[in-house]
Every structure is written in C-alpha cells, then in structure tokens.
Structure 1
C-alpha cells in the first residue's frame, strides 16, 4: 500500500476464538466502514495476513494454540501495523505484558464498539503515515531456498517441505527461524544472527526462546511424520541440514 491509498477502507483483522463474539465484532466494524476479516486462531491469521496484509489487528490474548501475545510479538517485528489487544483480564501486570509484546492499545472485554472504532481509526492513520511506498509488512524469504530433493520452503516461506514431499505449516516466528537457517545452506548459524532474523529489536528477546522454538518445530515435524534435521550446535547456534550430510558437533537435546 502507498500513501495514495489513504482514502481507502482500513483493513482490519479480528482474531477471536469465540465464534459468536468474533462475528459480532466483524459485523459492527464493517458497519463502521472498515474492510474486516475474522479468524479463530493464529494459523488462520498468518495465512490470511500473508495473502492480504491487514493494517490493524485486534487480537484476543487467550487463543487456543499460539496466543495473542505471541502474534503481537511477531507482528511488531514485521513492519508498521496497529495492534489492539483484547482480554477479560484488566490487571496492570496484564496491560504491561501486552505492551511489552508489541500491543499499541490494551482493551478490557466486553469491548465498547465506539471506543474500538475510534482506536482503529487512530492506529490506521499512524500506520499509513509510516508506510513507505510499496512496503510489505511480511516480506517473503528468498525463494532461492526452494530446491528439489532437499528440505525447502514454499508458498511464500510459510510451508516447510521435506525431500519426500511432506509439508509443515509454519508460524511467523518459525518461518523467520527456518528461513535464516536455510539461507546458511547447511552451515551453523549463530544464536545472535537467528535472534536478529526473528526480532529486529533484539534487546528484549530472551535467548532461551530459541530452544523453545527449535523443540516446537521438531515436535510438530514428528507429528507430521517428518524427521527434521535441525540441530543445536555446540559453541555456535543452530544448523538445518537440507540434504544428506552429517551434522557438525551438536549439543544433546
């Protein structure tokens, strides 16, 4: 989107796993003049967002699977976007946690639609002012990463495929993690470089999250019938072996 599009309807995505509440919010926001999509979980949001990026996301914290805080962290690292966090919890600690994860605004349920509409308008104006011409909130990893007969990324980097053709859908964080290792073409990548690929502002990134991400990827791959050649490398970082080759000195996992 460039600045000439400023008069078009703001694109909003509502991520809420309560079907009735989600449909109600979507309907009321559409009546307010926004272009709105509603989805139930993180996976559906990421898929919709890469196809048609939204400018403001309204996120429920307590989603099944990946929660709203994780989505907010991923979005904040991806580019200009407005993030409204919604939760039934109203403690100061909850608000602070949401803001630290990248939320612009924290709203306590039940939501007041007039306040939500005004908030989205304000965030949308700010996001459009920050957006450079032809910017893309979620740039795709280089598609040179695709290679027949080896592990590779496809569908804009959102799907990891093994040499046998099995596939694994990735979250935003997993996508950045895997793309960084893919670009190294089988060589070990330092933890610092992997962190920067996930979060441009790495000062508040907990390095222990990398091990959590790696373990989650291995577990998801195993559940999909895939044997993911992802290794923690001693005194280095991580290594993803794309084709048949032995890993270098690895840590026990």
Structure 2
C-alpha cells in the first residue's frame, strides 16, 4: 500500500508553516495515479495556505511498481554527497523487504524488481520514464556521457544534472536542470539511434557500464564523485 504521514513544511516564499501529507511509500500498482503525478511533476506539491505559492516536499520515500519491475529509494538531492552511506542503508532495507532477509513470498517479488537509488525529483521521474519506455538506465547514462563529448556546451556542475524527460518519435528530449529548484537551464533532443550505437559497442562501453551498475545508484554523476566503490572483477 501507499503510506502517508502529516508533517510541517515552511513556505520558501512567505515563511508560513504548512501542514502537508508526506509520502513514505508509493505502490504504483495500486495507485497508478501517484505514478502519473510523479511523471507530471505535481506529486507532493501543495499551494501555501498563506500566499498560495506552490510548496513542494523533497523526495524521501520508497517507490514500488511490480508490473514495471521497479523499486526506487528516493532521497533529497542535497544528500547525494552521502551516497555510499545511503547505498548501504538502501541495500539493507531492500534485503529485509525483498531480498534474503524477507519472507519467501516477498523474495519472489524481489526477483523481478530492479533496485535503484535516486536523489532529487528529476531523477525519480527519469527512472520511471525510462522503465516505461523500455530503455535501460545504464545505457541512458552512457548516452549522456557520449552526448557530453558532442555538445558545444555541457554545464555539468554540482547541483546541475542532465535528465531525459520525454521520448518523441525517434528522439529523446533532455534537459540540463538544477536538482533542488528544478529550474530548467537548457533543453535539446538527441536521436535514439545513438543508443543503438552504444549497444553495438558493448565491449568498448563495458568498463563504464560496470562502474554505473556497481550499486543501486545508476547515474553518471557517481563517476565524478571521487573513488567510489571498487568494481568487482
């Protein structure tokens, strides 16, 4: 089931304290409307009771969609520097919920789930979109790395990320976006044929794929965050 709890949040516009229903877990199989709201960017957004400006909670919940084979631990973007510690915590939660520490019935569900960790709302939306479009997220991240070599400008910096936000015909729509504010800095379209090029060069991309898939945080940003975890041979 999807679980919510009441909490207080301060409006960044006027400083008023609002009561809002914060999500602890989302079951998209039972509540597809919540999945749709996440994709639309309207989930966990409420008008301030004082000034009517939109107030949004940071993501801090688990997302389950068995039909899509996806489980996500969603965290605030500001916590990305604590990646390794959070990955350990997420792995343990998953182990008890759907892994070796869970009941047999839950383990059977876990066998079809892809375990992922995200930071910030743009990343949560992207994971759900890619799964729906049948695009492997590791390949999407390799595409981004390839694009950064081709683009005349690549404003990658702390707090700014490149996200796929839509698929249109034979193209993928990408944006450069500020993780916390979700301010879009640039938008462009890349041909889906570039994904085929990556798939056709599996050996060349193998080291990058191994690094990306080393843990539930499958995101090119991990490659710029220090030494990280050792990749198993």
TM-score in terms of structure 1 length: 0.28
- Which has the larger Rg? 1
Which structure features the higher share of strand residues?
Answer: 2
